[in-house]
Structure 1
């Protein structure tokens, strides 16, 4: 039995130990008590053979376990029926003897071999018949326990006698190995927890008033002061951890020892950083979140300035500025806009955490009394074209800067010199602007000269691809060198007040065939148009956008404003 227990898993040992101990102790106690009682209460000369009625299909010998019921319960039931028959004074001779079990007690019982009843004896001659005054009596509980112990000890747990004959241990067991619980006490909850791998969880922290990362890292993240300083040195934007606003949120993970394993913090809804730490290294990578592209339609009517009318539809200041830059290439807001003109704008932006980011105008439709205009963004180059593929961008910009600056001295071949009073032609256009204003190339070209002149001050000359030439005088700082290739819109210099100048300004000249012309009136070359496969691709890609613009529906919010009664409009207001 000890070998059986030893071969079981450790958890089964724990469950069977109390049962085995109880059965062994109580069984031994009952059997000994019964023997002692029988020694003094009964005549020891009587036979020690007990006739137990069994099932008809059981053959004599050791009880078989090849039954539908479990062997222990079957053996106990057999013994119980014998006991019940004794209690009810039913003669054992009336019971069918299916099997004779020989119980040889101890020598003190003095059982003679000739007193043993064989299986062939008739029930009438049985010494244990109720008519025999010396019938042996065995306690019920002792009989049950004896049957159980006999069943286990005889190997009856096997369901087949052939298996019992071949049964053996997996390996020999030494005396030292007979210790059942040499591993110590078993706590199932602790063993299950110990076998489960540690998986860190993301937690969120919201900055409270008075929080600092240094204190938080030491108190909550298990970091030392040097570790905190080393992390701040590695951060591309350390102010994300040193300049906190109340309510800012970030996420973190702790390892099994309660130390910081990972930190995720965003500088804006789209961009942020992921910090991963272990015992040997700290790695920092960037996070770029992709938003869900959403289209919004805005519709309005001009009432007053175009900029105020556009902003009244719900467009942001940045979206109004982009819209104005798109339309001003074809539309003069001072002369071409009239009260009651209608416009529609299709804007696409990325939505992240409910915020609209990176808005971009996809299409514009303007229905005016003086001009009708429809413009579509080409996904291939992000430039605007008409639905027929005509480019909106000219190959040469009118102004070499962004924004609007006052003309302090126009192009005038008959100008009187402001100092001498004599006729001194002014062959350029002067724009009054602060020193340091960015000057940009009006078209693609190559830098031809960069120099310094007593009268012109610092200057630059650029020859453009279309044959035009431009000059820039009185600069404070050139940003290009001779021979550099420049593109339209590239910064080439900063305006200034060098040379003979009465104040900060930019002197700008346009030369055609090496002759100065009025830069504000000269005909500028038009931009190119799409053709062939480029045009076919443009029309295919912008077809849904044009359909949404024509219908005024995109499946999202459509904002619209109408001029209110009594609102004054001024067609000459600047945008």
Structure 2
């Protein structure tokens, strides 16, 4: 066995040495126990028995040796043991081997001095006490000890010793940690793995997950099977959600987001109706709570420039404006611009639009400013962010105090204002002091401005009629009505319904005769200058001009820092009608 141990690497020897030692000791114990058992079986009546073991002729008195031949390991252990004994007690000089280095105590230290006479070294005694280390010259060679066996012996000697080792390979062992009882209780089940300890300390944080609707999915089934919602919770959610179609009408590919709690049940549910608006459902012990989501986008300005070629609407859409943006633009300009009469081919226009960009989608376009440079009219309008109304750069409002037309919609003029018109029935020259619109019978007629009803009657030629005196001094008259819906002396406001059109009196067909009188003089209602209202003054005007300055600069320079679209002359088949 020692040969096998001797052939192994140093680390393997260190691991196997305790096993070899135990085997050796147990083997010796087995021999003694076997002899004792054999002797006891021969004479079971004897109380004590002496076992005689024959010894060699040259053996010395004492405890017999079971293994007379020493291996390199046993010699190393023997040497280590003697070295340890030397540190524990004094050893007589007679028992020291000549090759050993020892520490000797003397009453007086001895120093060597040279004798010149005979060149011999003699000791010289000094009165001071000290410790001297000397070396005895080796007189006989000792057998070589295997280096691995020597290190093993040194380690074993140090481990079995109660005193610190003097070997330079070994260091003093100690403990610097003061461990209390509470900390020891943490290790009742063994050491804690690092990953487990970190996981135990981290709190549970739910993560957002996305679900894509597949064929056959319904919210009720998913809510019960996947999210753990009860039937009553689902019913309450469908009642409280403002847009139930988001949950009841799914399409394949629709998506929604959700969070699960630590128990795997629904914690939050988020569904969007578009990229901006949606709803957040939060689940708690009190039930489900629905809140509104409104995402903020990045505001971006775009400048469009074009030339009228055909209808204004088509020319504006050719610049890149969407249909909704063209509709808003037309609604703004129609308060100052008659698209039938005032637009001409070659008129130029610029439009500054602001919109929100969310995930690459353009949302909520807002017209900030528009500049129209035409052959018949020049108009510049700027949006006021305080009230979202449009004003001229000087702060004059577009909200009229007097509407151009006494109805909503667009109707053909069947007979314009003409003081030299031939009467269609008599054939004589008879002034036409109003404007006739070809509207069907029963069309609602509205007051163009606030005022008070002055007359309501029925005339053989004019048919049923109404006369209103307005607050600004203007007067309006409505003839050939089928039914008045206001009474004399009644107060009316702009846009309020006052009658239904008809074909009463002397008339060639259903129509509305509309007159405007200024200082009791009939004027052309289609080109008379109408009073304006809602102008800005004081601090409101100063604030408006400050905010309008960069918009006007963008219109003038064509630079917004964003996209600039431009379309110039373009031939179009339509050149005189509004599309």
In the superposition, the TM-score normalised over structure 1's length comes to: 0.63
Distance 1:475 1:405, change over 3 A: farther
Residues 1:195 and 1:170: Cα distance change in structure 2 (over 3 Å): closer
- Residues 386-406 of structure 1: CA distance to partner in whole angstroms, max 9, x if unpaired? 323333333211124443134
Give the deviation of 1:342 after TM superposition: 1.6
For residues 199-214 of structure 1, what are the structure 2 equivalents within 5 Å? 199-214=205-220
- The answer to whether residue 354 in structure 2 is matched with residue 348 in structure 1 is yes
Q: Aligned pair in 2 of structure 1 residues 428, 301: CA closer, same or farther (>3 Å)?
A: closer
How far has the Cα of 1:219 moved from its partner? 3.4
- On the 8 A contact 1:375/1:386 being kept in 2, the answer is yes
1:495-550 per-residue CA deviation (whole Å, 9 max, x = no partner) reads 86799799998787768789998755665213354444333322221111111111
2:44 maps to 1:41: no
Q: Is the contact made by 1:457 and 1:498 (CA closer than 8 Å) also made in structure 2?
A: no
Give yes or no for the alignment of 1:281 onto 2:287.
yes
Q: Is the 8 A contact 1:433 1:495 kept in 2?
A: no
Asked if the contact 1:300–1:309 (Cα under 8 Å) also holds between the matched residues in 2, the reply is yes
Q: 1:521 to 1:272 in 2, by over 3 A?
A: same
Shift of 1:179: 9.7
Bigger shift: 187-196 or 282-291?
Answer: 187-196
Residues 278, 293 of structure 2: 8 Å contact kept = yes
> For 1:268-307, what aligned pairs fall within 5 Å after superposition?
268-307=274-313
The structural deviation recorded for 1:275 is: 0.7
2:579 is aligned with 1:572: no
Aligned match of 1:79: none
Aligned counterpart for 1:50 among listed residues 48, 57, 82:
82
Change (3 A) 1:266 1:180: closer
Query: CA 1:442 to 1:358, structure 2 compared with 1: closer, same or farther past 3 Å?
Result: farther
1:148 to 148, 155, 159: 159
1:195: how far off?
Answer: 2.9
Q: Distance in 2 between matches of 1:494 and 1:211?
A: 55
Equivalents in 2 of 1:441, 1:187: separation in Å? Answer: 86
Question: 1:266 aligned to 272, 285, 290, which one?
Answer: 272
User: For the aligned residues, what is the CA RMSD?
Assistant: 5.7
Q: Is the counterpart of residue 216 in structure 1 residue 227 in structure 2? A: no
Number of residue pairs matched?
469
Tell me the secondary structure at the aligned position of residue 351 of structure 1: strand
Separation (CA, whole Å) in 2 of partners of 1:24 and 1:145: 9
CA distance in 1: counterparts of 2:521 and 2:281, whole angstroms: 62
Determine the C-alpha separation between the residues in 2 that align with 1:149 and 1:506.
Answer: 125
Q: Does 1:239 align with 2:250?
A: no
- Structure 1 residue 296, shift from structure 2 partner: 0.8
Where structure 2 has 5 or more consecutive residues not aligned to the other structure, the ranges are 1-14, 33-61, 69-77, 90-95, 106-129, 144-148, 166-170
Distance 1:24 1:404, change over 3 A: farther
- How far did residue 234 of structure 1 move? 1.9
Q: 1:26 to 1:441 in 2, by over 3 A?
A: farther
Following the alignment from structure 2 to structure 1, what is the Cα–Cα distance between the partners of residues 400 and 514?
19
Q: Which residue, out of 164, 188, 194, partners 2:200?
A: 194
Other-structure match for 1:94: 101
User: Would you say 1:319 and 2:325 are equivalent positions?
Assistant: yes
Change (3 A) 1:322 1:49: closer
CA contact (8 A) 1:297 1:345 kept: yes
In 2, Cα distance between equivalents of 1:336 and 1:169: 96
Superposition map of 1:342-421 within 5 A? 342-406=348-412
Q: Secondary structure at the match of 1:330?
A: coil
Q: 544, 547, 558: which is aligned to 2:553?
A: 547
User: 1:233 Cα deviation (Å)?
Assistant: 1.8
User: Distance in 1 between the 2:163 and 2:328 partners?
Assistant: 93
Decide whether the 8 Å contact of 2:80 with 2:153 is kept in 1: no
Corresponding residue for residue 432 of structure 1:
439
DSSP 3-state at the match of 2:82: strand
Given the superposition, is the C-alpha separation of residues 274 and 572 from structure 1 closer, same or farther in structure 2, using an over 3 Å criterion? same
Whole-Å separation in 2 of the counterparts to 1:40 and 1:430 = 144
Q: Over residues 222-264 of structure 1, what are the superposed CA-to-partner deviations in whole Å (9 max), with x where a residue is unaligned?
A: 3344432232122111111111223322211111122211111
Task: Identify if the C-alpha distance between structure 1 residues 335 and 477 changes in structure 2 by more than 3 Å, giving closer, same or farther.
Answer: closer
Spell out, residue by residue over 1:354-377, the C-alpha distance to the aligned partner (whole angstroms, 9 max, x if none): 122221222222222223322222
Which SS does the other structure have where 1:395 is aligned? coil
TM-score with structure 2 length normalisation? 0.62
Which of the numbers 333, 336, 340 marks the counterpart of 2:339? 333
Deviations 1:111-156 (Å, cap 9, x if unpaired)? xxxxxxxxx9999999xx99999xxxx9974662352254599996
On the 8 A contact 2:467/2:476 being kept in 1, the answer is yes
Rg: which structure is higher?
2
Q: Is the alpha carbon distance of 1:211 and 1:448 closer, same or farther for their aligned partners in structure 2, counting shifts above 3 Å?
A: farther
Listed as ranges, the matches of 1:470-485 within 5 Å are none
